[in-house]
Structure 1
Amino acid sequence: MTTTPRFALPLLHAGQAQKELFHNEAVAGIDALLHPEVEAVGTDVPPATPEPGQAWIVGTAPTGDWAGHGDEIACWTDGGWRFAVPRTGMTVWAESLTQPVRYRAGTGWEIGVIAARRIEVDGVQVIGARGEAVATPAGGAIVDDQARAAIAGILDALRAHGLIASAEL
């Protein structure tokens, strides 16, 4: 094996000449992937004047120097473009979107999707698994239209956010 299995970073060999070149190439790859940040997602045309360290998530129809690198991370270095093939679960901060994007094999880059079993604030669960359906109030001896409208609005909002299942009709 001459490269690492996950991100194809170059490995040194015993007795290898010019080890510094391979070492520097590996460090450049680590620098791009350690805490990845990209300027934009889905860009097909390389920028005209990139700065060293700037990176982009290449779109699905790349041109120029990016041709053949769709969905990869393109990072500009003093030595030119370096590309990294994303792995499932890889998360990158997208500066233009001010949010993270995550890669999933077969799906590509997902923008704004957060997968979790629960969300906690200060150690207290505030969102968990989806609750069972709650029926909209109906019937009863005394009908308060305003209270029913308020309850129905709350239930509709909880359903729209996916926090409770839709009521069976």
Structure 2
Amino acid sequence: MTIPATFASATPRFGLPLLFSGQAQKEFFVNEAHVLLDALVHARVHGTADIPPSDPVEGEAWLVQPSGQGDWSGNAQSIAVFTAGGWRFIPPQPGMRVFDSVSGRQLHFDDSWKFAADPGLPTGGTTVDLEARAAIGQLVAALRDLGLFARTPG
């Protein structure tokens, strides 16, 4: 399990290291900040899991389930990013969004990771308005294309 470095001076939300005048080994601090930014800017995860994949590729990220095990133990709901140095864990912040490439939808963090449920399409009823149903269907399809709903219903 990778133990994250702690920095005397860091940004408040994500702990990006800050440089100070006369600092030695600036490369380490700058490189660490770049690794974290690479994971956070337009964040994408490859789904959720409770155990690390057996053969991770550098740069891939996952959301750690509350039942995280092994190297992921104690990092529930964090974004686990595999880097050359091992696993890095980024604790989620309120309002944070990531794209789940497995489900094809956006997730939003607000005490836990949440996603918009697919509303389904209207069926039945005593009065059927085909044009309204078609418009609703197009709206739901557009929201799927934007990643707000899963690509396929269900």
The partner residue of 1:33 within 28, 35, 40 is 40
Residue 13 of structure 2 corresponds to: 6
Q: Secondary structure at the match of 1:86?
A: coil
Q: Answer with 1 or 2: which has the greater Rg.
A: 1
Are residue 102 (structure 1) and residue 108 (structure 2) matched? yes
Q: Secondary structure at the match of 1:100?
A: strand
TM-score norm. by structure 2 comes to 0.71
Q: For residues 116-127 of structure 1, what are the structure 2 equivalents within 5 Å?
A: none
Query: Aligned partners of 2:20 and 2:54: how far apart in 1?
Result: 37
Gaps of 5+ in 2: 1-7, 119-124, 137-154
Indicate if the aligned counterparts of 1:101 and 1:113 stay in contact, CA closer than 8 A. Answer: no
Aligned-pair CA distance for 1:111: 2.2
Which amino acid in structure 1 is aligned with residue 24 of structure 2? A
Aligned identity (percent) is 41
Deviation digits for residues 83-104 of structure 1, max 9, x if unmatched?
Answer: 1111111110001111111100
Residue 89 of structure 1 corresponds to: 95
Runs of 4+, deviation exceeding 4 Å: none
Residue 150 of structure 1 corresponds to: 126
The partner residue of 1:68 within 74, 83, 97 is 74
Are residue 15 (structure 1) and residue 19 (structure 2) matched? no
Which amino acid in structure 1 is aligned with residue 12 of structure 2? P
Aligned-pair CA distance for 1:113: 5.2
Q: Secondary structure at the match of 2:126?
A: helix
Query: Aligned partners of 1:71 and 1:100: how far apart in 2?
Result: 15
Higher strand proportion, which one? 1
Residue 50 of structure 1 corresponds to: 56
In angstroms, what is the RMSD of aligned CA positions? 2.2
Residue 134 of structure 1 corresponds to: none
Gaps of 5+ in 1: 115-148, 162-169
Q: Secondary structure at the match of 2:36?
A: helix
Residue 121 of structure 1 corresponds to: none
* Count of residue pairs brought into register by the alignment: 119
Are residue 112 (structure 1) and residue 116 (structure 2) matched? yes
TM-score norm. by structure 1 comes to 0.65
